[in-house]
Structure 1
Amino acid sequence: MNCEEAKQTISIRVVLESFNLFPIKDNQRTAFYFALDREERTPSLSVDFIKNKAFDFGTGKSYDVISIVQQINQCSVADALKYLATKLDFSIQNVQPQQNLEYEILKVSEIRHFALIQYLITRRVYEQKDLVKEIHYEMYGKKYFGIGFINDSGGFEVRNKFSKICVGKKDVTWIKSEINNSNEVAIFEGFFDYLTFRKMQKHQNSDYLILNSTSMLFKIENDLDKYHKISLFLDNDKNGNFAKTKIQNVFMNAEDCSLIYEGYNDLNEWYCKD
């Protein structure tokens, strides 16, 4: 991954979130954060999610995803790129609409590739293979394939043994219950936890919401009012805990179900422990 690829494909929101930095005020396009290089009472860092850039009104500095990592880690461009490549999900999305992103979906099919079948078996969710797809895509002239899980904007969360990316626009995934107008919803951070839950619970008694990233939390807060019961199956890490707290502060009927897999990062990791 080079500098241009990083700027075009990695969400600035996800980069900030990786440092446990979250907006003080936000909407779908812009947000205000506290400054990266000093303590302050009034947030001065303006972040534009569409342009994928930030501007500090206190110092006049502009930031992109690389310079944010440089500022926080006090590191070189090379080390910043290494951090972005190894610590974060690739998130190929429309961060700069005026440019054509260099990816193409080549084929979407049922899961057939041996490596993907084996990967589902190791994650103990092979029986749920019909809930995902095999996706082949080309990015910056190279061809890849993985297990694809579609989101509500038509993008694909793609996983294989070696990578974790989003091809297309980043979004959440809503899956409605077989029962019309369900008053219960179960919320998951990633789709492997959703597949695990579906294996554990054969019948679809509730609606399901897969965030595909805690950075998508802002999209769903107004959609939870109708539910009498909200079950949270989020990760046991800083981002997951932040999302749990934010939801529970608004919805008193939100139950933290992560105690089921206490001591493990997520539901799937706990399920695969034996």
Structure 2
Amino acid sequence: MNCKQFNTIPLEEVLLSLGHLPTKQSEKEAWFLNPFAKENHASFKINKNLNYWYLHSEGIGGKNIDFMKRYLNASVSEVLVWAENKDFSSFHQQNISYSKLENLSKNYEIIDVKEIQHPALLEYLKERKVENQTEFLHEIHYSMNDKNYFGIGFKNDSGGYEIRNKYSKICLGKKNISTIKNDSNSVRIFEGFFDFLSFKNLENELEKEPSDYLILNSVSMTHNIKNSLGKYEKVELYLDNDEAGNCAVEIICSEIQNAKDCRVLYSDFKDLNEYLNQQTSEVENQSKTRFKR
């Protein structure tokens, strides 16, 4: 790889390979926290069209090669050796195309598990309208194929983590359901944890008492839960409005007499999180209108 070739790789991809996620972005630009030093407000900007970076806090900028020389404190030749050992094309395809990897090999290591602090992850939760539900989540830092990543982690019953951020949807460890118990005689079932978090935001508005909660983490886990549902007096289903969700609802309702399909609440939306986003946006717009008056 030479300098010209390296400079054609999207700088966003380079930053992602180093574990940096944008705090905000648009079609033309992306903003990151300073990759060279700690800061609270993003001052590192990428012009996507030019593939050029500029660090406002220091008044410097350049192309990929300039960035990595500073980042690694290395020469041009050392940067190119580093780049040769990175499979950027496959990384780009895997992450920027939002590939859904559900059964990841064990070629990874969890480096750190902590409360969610990174601005990019907090912003992602805010975009999904569940930023107030972090008690159920962790910030997971992990390495895979000699690259470092981080994301929002939701633990399953086998000790694995469902990992989400804007660029990936994977599972670290064994795939399994997640159960949250409150010693209730009712249980609510969700396909993914963002739908569960969305419901928690709506629970009071819907005048629903807390119950036990079961998150499938994949509709493929539907057959694994049927035997555990018989003890409940009430089973409420909040699955997606798609073919897979329809199939899962049909399977559960055919075998569990007291199961109820509750998707009428969001029948015009793909899932519960999309419904929450719409509801929250309408409330925010109404508040803005009243304020202007």
Question: TM class by shorter-chain length?
Answer: 0.5 to 0.7
1:130 CA drift (Å): 1.5
Who is 1:254 aligned against?
259
The percent of aligned pairs where both chains have the same amino acid is 49
8 Å contact 1:176–1:208 — kept in the other structure?
yes
Unaligned 5+ segments in structure 1 are 1-81, 95-100
Amino acid at match of 1:199: N
8 Å contact 1:93–1:170 — kept in the other structure?
no
Task: Flag as ranges the 4+ runs of structure 1 deviating above 3 A.
Answer: 82-88
Q: 1:236 aligns with which of 230, 233, 241?
A: 241
8 Å contact 2:98–2:168 — kept in the other structure?
no
Who is 2:210 aligned against?
205
Who is 2:32 aligned against?
none
* 1: CA distance, partners of 2:94 / 2:249: 26
| Mapping for residues 65-80 of structure 1, pairs under 5 Å | none
Residues 62-90 of structure 1: per-residue CA shift (max 9 Å, x gap): xxxxxxxxxxxxxxxxxxxx799957521
* 2: CA distance, partners of 1:144 / 1:204: 37
Who is 1:3 aligned against?
none
* 2: CA distance, partners of 1:86 / 1:201: 34
| Mapping for residues 1-274 of structure 1, pairs under 5 Å | 86=97, 89-93=100-104, 101-177=106-182, 180=183, 182-201=184-203, 205-273=210-278, 274=281
Amino acid at match of 1:120: L
* 1: CA distance, partners of 2:271 / 2:130: 14
* 2: CA distance, partners of 1:238 / 1:85: 26
1:139 CA drift (Å): 1.3
Per the alignment, in what secondary structure is the counterpart of residue 187 of structure 1?
strand
Per the alignment, in what secondary structure is the counterpart of residue 127 of structure 1?
coil
Of structures 1 and 2, the larger Rg is shown by: 2
8 Å contact 2:98–2:169 — kept in the other structure?
no
TM-score norm. by structure 1 comes to 0.63
Change (3 A) 1:172 1:103: same
Amino acid at match of 2:123: Q
Residues 84-124 of structure 1: per-residue CA shift (max 9 Å, x gap): 99575212356xxxxxx211111110000000000111111
8 Å contact 2:116–2:134 — kept in the other structure?
yes
Residues 175-222 of structure 1: per-residue CA shift (max 9 Å, x gap): 001xx3x11000000000111111122586210000000111121110
Taking only aligned residues, the RMSD between alpha carbons, in angstroms, comes to 2.0
Amino acid at match of 1:259: V
* 2: CA distance, partners of 1:255 / 1:117: 34
Per the alignment, in what secondary structure is the counterpart of residue 174 of structure 1?
strand
* 2: CA distance, partners of 1:83 / 1:241: 29
1:131 CA drift (Å): 1.1
1:156 CA drift (Å): 0.2
Per the alignment, in what secondary structure is the counterpart of residue 272 of structure 1?
helix
Amino acid at match of 1:236: N
Per the alignment, in what secondary structure is the counterpart of residue 102 of structure 2?
strand
* 2: CA distance, partners of 1:93 / 1:83: 12
More helix by share: 2
* 2: CA distance, partners of 1:149 / 1:83: 21
8 Å contact 2:99–2:168 — kept in the other structure?
no
TM-score norm. by structure 2 comes to 0.59
Per the alignment, in what secondary structure is the counterpart of residue 140 of structure 2?
strand
Q: Count residues in correspondence.
A: 184
Residues 212-268 of structure 1: per-residue CA shift (max 9 Å, x gap): 001111211100001111100000111111100000111121111111111211100
* 1: CA distance, partners of 2:189 / 2:138: 21
8 Å contact 2:186–2:233 — kept in the other structure?
yes
